[in-house]
Amino acid sequence: MDGGIIEADGVVAVVRLDDLSAAVPLTEALVAGGVRAVEFTFTNPTAARAIEAAAAALGDQALIGAGSVLDPETARTAILAGARFVVTPTLGLRTIELANRYGVPTVIGALTPTEILAAWEAGATYVKVFPASLGGPGYFKDVLGPLPQVKLVPTGGVTVENAADFVRAGAVAVALGGNLVDAKSVAAADWGKITGRARALVEAVAGAREGSRG
C-alpha cells in the first residue's frame, strides 16, 4: 500500500470546499509547501472529478485521497478516479474491506477506545480520531498507553499552532481542513498564503518529531 507519504510527512490536507474547480493549483500550492497528501471530501459531488484532475496533473508528486467516504460504493468510485487513500468520518468496516481489496490505505474515523481498536483490528491503515478537539493531545497520550500499536491521526480542531502538541502526544500525522485550506484564500487564488501555511505546518510537525526523538 502506498500511504507511506502520510506517515513520512506527517500531514494530510483536507479539502472541504463548495467549489473544487481550482483543485489542481490548490494541490500544487500545498505540495510547494511540503504537504503532499491531499484529501478531497465527498461532501462535494464533484470530488471524484477533482481527484481525477489533481492525480493526473501531479502524478507522483502528490498522494491524492478521498475524504468523507461513507460507504464502499463511494470508496470504489474514488479509487477508480485515482484516489490513493480513503478517509471515513466514522467506523466504516465495509469501506476498510473494500479498500484493502484494492490495496488502498485507509484513514478510518473513530473516537472511543473501543471504536479505535475495532478499526485497527478490521485492517485500517490509520485511525482518524475525530473530533480531536474533544479530548485534545492529552486524549491521544491516554489512548496510546494501552494501545501503543495503533497509528492515530487527529482531525477536527487541529491547527498550525497545536499540531506539534498532537505529534508529541503520539500522533503519526495530523489532518487539517479549514485551518490549512480556507475558502477565502482559494477563491482569491492566494496560493502563496496556502503554501506558507503548509510550510509552517510541515516545519512544526518535523520539529515536534525531532524533539520527541531527542
User: 39 an active-site residue?
Assistant: yes
* Among 128, 184, 193, 210, the one annotated catalytic: 128
Residue type, 167: V
Distance CA 165, CA 48 (A): 33
Give the active site residue among 28, 39, 52, 151: 39
Q: All 3 cell numbers of residue 14? A: 483536507
Structure letter (DSSP) for residue 60 = G
> Rounded to 5 degrees, what are φ and ψ at 41?
-85, 145
Q: Which amino acid is at 206?
A: A
Q: How far apart are CA 167 and CA 190, in angstroms?
A: 28
Amino acid present at 48: A
Q: Tell me the β-bridge partners of 13.
A: 38, 176
What CA–CA distance (Å, rounded) separates 209 from 102?
Answer: 31
Residues designated catalytic? 39, 128
